[in-house]
Amino acid sequence: MSAKPTLGEGVSGSPPQVARPDLTPPTPTPPPPTPPPALPPPVVTRGETQASAPSDDAKGSPPRLAARGFSLFYGRHQALKSITLEIPDRSVTAIIGPSGCGKSTLLRSFNRMNDLIAGVRTEGVVEVSGRDVLGAIDVVDLRRRVGMVFQRPNPFPKSIFDNVAFGLRLIGVRSRTELEGRVETSLKRAALWDEVKDRLERGALQLSGGQQQRLCIARCLAVEPEVILMDEPASALDPTATARVEELILSLKSRYTIAIVTHNMQQAARISDHTAFMMMGELVEVDTTRRLFTSPAKKITEDYITGRFG
Ligand SMILES: Nc1ncnc2c1ncn2[C@@H]1O[C@H](COP(=O)(O)OP(=O)(O)OP(=O)(O)O)[C@@H](O)[C@H]1O
Ligand SMILES: [Mg+2]
């Protein structure tokens, strides 16, 4: 374990160099029973067909995130099986599926957090903004562009200010005025500023769980990412704090591309534009959230979203 976190570890706050960082107990939130969840307002679709990845906008720019025939192996265990998925810019895509189906693994593939796990091997392509990220690239820069927020809020044992400034200092921002400006902007975007503006020098660990999670989101926003990956960001929070994080996610999508793993079907329905359903390492289907929850293409998807298994 290195003494100093790297940018990716620091900004994302992931556990550094842990052999199996994701083997936290499965989330206790089971999918709800029938009926299917209340649906969000209709999503504008762009003519994508059932079970195909949502296409990007008509301007022809590449999707913000893409996996193409992407497989991942932990040693001999194949955790992802030829996943092909596109995640369009400035939208929220929910990734759902039973425990162990590969959701976190897929999320971590977009910013190469799986590199921290020994024995990982991949096949196929992962792209961010149309550029391959599996080859020889600047991984620190990738993790700045593709930030990550985890299930459990993980602020550093530092002040609120220093938590948000952490990634900025790592990328060389030294000016106090610039740091202060960017910390304030990030805390405002994370809907936390009003609650902490008078106590920026206090320890971050004194904040409530919901505030800590918004602080982690502010820390991620400070380095101006293009994408925010969220792995069950609200599952450790109470309903009020969850609602605040959901509101925040909705407010962020005008600027950022968000991919969120959730076990909460209602949450997926409330906040996402597209939903991808995975099972046993495969992408079963992806569609607009409305269509996936009202007329899924596959029976197995219907069984999952109506709580028949999971
Ligand atoms: N570091 C690791 N080393 C070896 N196998 C792993 C590692 N992390 C995950 N796996 C395995 O890969 C598969 C997919 O795991 P992953 O954590 O991506 O699932 P998940 O869909 O996120 O599950 P959950 O909903 O419980 O979080 C599982 O079989 C898991 O045991
Ligand atoms: Mg997971």
CATH label of the domain that carries residue 182: 3.40.50.300
Contact 155, 141 (CB under 8 A): no
**Single-letter amino acid, residue 187:** L
Please write down the HEC assignment for all residues of 55-90.
CCCCCCCCCCEEEEEEEEEECCEEEEEEEEEEECCC
Which is the closest atom of ligand 1 to the Cα of 19?
1
Q: What are the pLDDT digits (tens) for 253-300?
A: 999 999 999 999 999 999 999 999 999 999 999 999 999 999 999 999
* Nearest CA owner, ligand 1 atom 18: 102
Q: Which range marks the domain in which residue 198 is found? A: 7-12+53-305
> Ligand 2 centre and the CA of 202: distance in Å?
32
Residue 30 counted as domain residue: no
Q: What atom in ligand 1 is closest to the CA of residue 232?
A: 27
Which residue from 14, 27, 81, 105 has its CB within 8 A of the most atoms of ligand 1, so it is best to mutate?
Answer: 105
13 has a pLDDT exceeding 90 = no
Higher pLDDT residue, 87 or 171? 87
What are the tens digits of pLDDT across the range 197-256? 999 999 999 999 999 999 999 999 999 999 999 999 999 989 999 999 999 999 999 999
CB contact at 8 A, 151 and 216: no
pLDDT band (50, 70, 90) for residue 32: very low
Strand ranges of the sheet holding 120-128, from the earlier edge strand across to the other edge: 77-87, 65-74, 120-128, 131-132
Any atom of ligand 1 within 6 Å of the Cβ of 74: yes
Contact 160/204 with Cβ under 8 angstroms?
A: yes
Residue 35 in domain: no
To test the ligand 1 pocket, which listed residue (101, 262, 279) has its Cβ within 8 A of the most ligand atoms?
A: 101
Count of residues for the chain?
A: 310
- Name which of 8-12, 63-67, 92-96, 178-182 the model is least confident about: 8-12
Model confidence pTM above 0.95:
no
Measured from the alpha carbon of residue 263, the closest ligand is 1
Helix locations, 32-120, DSSP H: 103-109
Residue 130: which pLDDT band, with cuts at 50, 70 and 90? Answer: very high
34, part of any domain = no
- Is 42 inside any structural domain? no
Residue 172 lies in a domain: yes
Pocket flag, ligand 1, residue 231 (CB < 6 Å): no
Which ligand is nearest to the Cα of residue 102, counting in written order?
1
Indicate whether 84 belongs to any domain: yes
Q: How many domains does the chain have?
A: 1
Distance CA 296, CA 73 (A): 29
Residue 264 lies in a domain: yes
What's the rounded Cα separation, in Å, for the pair 183 and 124? 38
pLDDT recorded at residue 59: 58
Cα–ligand 1 centroid distance for 103 (angstroms): 8
pLDDT tens readout for residues 18-28: 333 333 333 33
Q: How far does residue 102's CA lie from ligand 1's centre (Å)?
A: 6
Would you say residue 40 lies in a domain?
no
How deeply is 175 buried, as exposed, middle or buried, from its count of CB atoms within 10 A (0-12, 13-18, 19+)? exposed
